[in-house]
A and B are shown apart, each in its own frame.
Chain A
Amino acid sequence: MITVKNLHKSFDNNVVFDGFSLELPNRGFYAVSGPSGSGKTTLFRLICGLDTEYGGEIDVEGKISYVFQENRLLPHMTSYGNVFTVCGDKEKSLSLLSSVGLEDAVDKYPSELSGGMNRRVAIARALSFGHDILLLDEPFTALDADIKDKIINLIKEREKDKLLLIITHDPDEISALGCEEIKIND
C-alpha cells in the first residue's frame, strides 16, 4: 500500500510536486503518466526512499522491487550472478532468466550482451526479489515486440497479487498490462 499526502518537492527553483496526493491499495496495476520532466521518476525515487528531501507524507507498506530506467547491472557478474545476488536462489534465478528468454545467456557478462538482453536481466532480477510492490521505469525500452509481449504476460502472471507501478509513454503497454492510469502534472 502506498499513501502520498500533500507532497511538495522541488529542485532548486523548479517545483515538481506542489501538494500532490495519491493512495494506492496493496494490489493492482497502475501506470504513471505525464509529460517529460513532470516528476514520474522522481515520484518513484521518493516512494522507494532513494530521495528523502521532500515535504508532506509518504507512507509505504511492503517491500519494493525496482526496474530502474537504467539497467544498473553489476558489470563483474554474469546474468545469473546479477539475479542470484538479489534473490539467493539458484533455481529461481535460472527459471526467471529462462522466462525472459535468456537461458542461453546465464553465464554472459553485461558487456557481452545487447542492450535488450541486459534489460531482460534487470527485469528478471527485479522479479526475483521477494517484493510486495514493483516499480517499473520504462522497462520495455530496447526490447523486441515478441519479447516484450512475452515479458508483459510474465509480469501479469507473477505480479497479479501485488502492487505494480509503471512509467511508460506507450499506451499499448498500459492496455496490455491492464493498468489504471495516474496522471501527474498534466
Chain B
Amino acid sequence: MKKRTKLPASVRSLLAFVFWVGVWWIISLIVGREVLIPSPPAVAVRLFELLQTSDFYISVLLSVLRITAGFGAAVVLGIITGILCAKSSAADTLLSPFFSVIKATPVASFIILALVWINKELIPVFISALMVLPVIHGNVKQGILQTDVQLLEMARIFGFGRKKTLKVVYLPSVLPYLYAGMKTCLGLAWKAGVASEVLCFAAYSIGNRLYQSKVYLETADMFAWTVTVIIISVIIEKLLMAAVSLHNKKKQI
C-alpha cells in the first residue's frame, strides 16, 4: 500500500486560499454582473490601480494610526483596570456595570452617540478602544486571579519583594492572557474602527473610501478596500505575534 505524504501547512493554506478565491470567481461568473460581485481579477486590477495613488497610502496610514491608537489606549487602560479590579473587590464592583454595558451595547449605538459627542476624526480611535477595553480588562483580571497561589507563597517565603514577585510570578501568569486578548482584539478593533469610519465619514480613511465606493456603486473598489483591510489586519497580527514570540524568548532564563 502506498504511503500518502502530507503537504506542508503553508501549501495546504495556500490551496485553501486558492479554493475560496475559485468559489468567489465561480459565484461572480454565475451572477454575471460585476456591479454585484466583481471577479477576483477585476478586484486585483482595481487594487493595483489604487496602489498607484497617494490617496490610498494616506487613507491606509491614517486608518492604521487611528485604530492602532485606540487599540493601544485600550490595552494600557485595560491593564490598569484589570489590575485594579483583581486587587480590589470595591473597584471590581464599581467598574463591573460599566464593562457589562460596553459589552452589551451594539457598536452602532456607540458610533452614533460618538458622532454627537466628539470630533469625527477621533471617533475610530474611541470606538476601537471601546471594543478592545472590556476584553483586555477581563483577560488581565483573569490572569491575575489565576496566578498560582503556591508560587505566591513561595515568593513570600524567599523574600522576593513586590517588584520581583511581579516580574517572576505575576507577569508570566498574566502575559498569556494579555497576548490572547490582544490577538482576539486586533480583528475586533479593525472591524469596529473601519465601521465607525464608514459612519462618521472620517477624512482620508479606509471606511470613507468604502463608503464612497458604495455611493458610486464601484463594487470592485469596495472589494479592493476590503481586501486591503484584511491584509493589513493579518500583517499587524503577524507583527504582534512576532513581537510576543521575541519577548518570550528574551525573558526565558
Q: Which residues of A are interface residues toward B (Cβ below 8 A)?
A: 48-50, 63-66, 68, 70, 72, 74-78, 80-81, 84-86, 125, 129
Contact = CB atoms under 8 A, between A and B. Distances in A.
B98 to A, nearest CB: 33
Contacts of A72: 150-151, 153-154
A48 B157 contact: yes
A74 B153 contact: no
A65 B251 CA distance: 26
Nearest to B160: A85
Contacts of B253: 76-78, 80-81, 84-85
A78 B150 CA distance: 18
A77 B158 contact: no
B157 A66 contact: yes
Given A76-B251, A78-B253, A81-B253, A65 B157 contact: yes
A66 B251 CA distance: 26
Contacts of B169: 74
Given A50-B157, A65-B158, A74 B252 contact: no
Interface in B151-168: 151, 153-154, 156-160, 164, 168
A76 B164 CA distance: 14
B150 to A, nearest CB: 5
A68 B158 CA distance: 12
B172 interface: yes
Contacts of A77: 168, 252-253
B155 to A, nearest CB: 9
A74 B253 CA distance: 11
The 4 closest A-B pairs by CB, nearest first: A81-B253, A72-B154, A76-B172, A86-B158
Nearest to A85: B168
Interface string B129-158: 000000000000000000000110110111
A75 B158 CA distance: 17
Contacts of B151: 72, 74
Contact of B150 (A68, A76, A81): A68
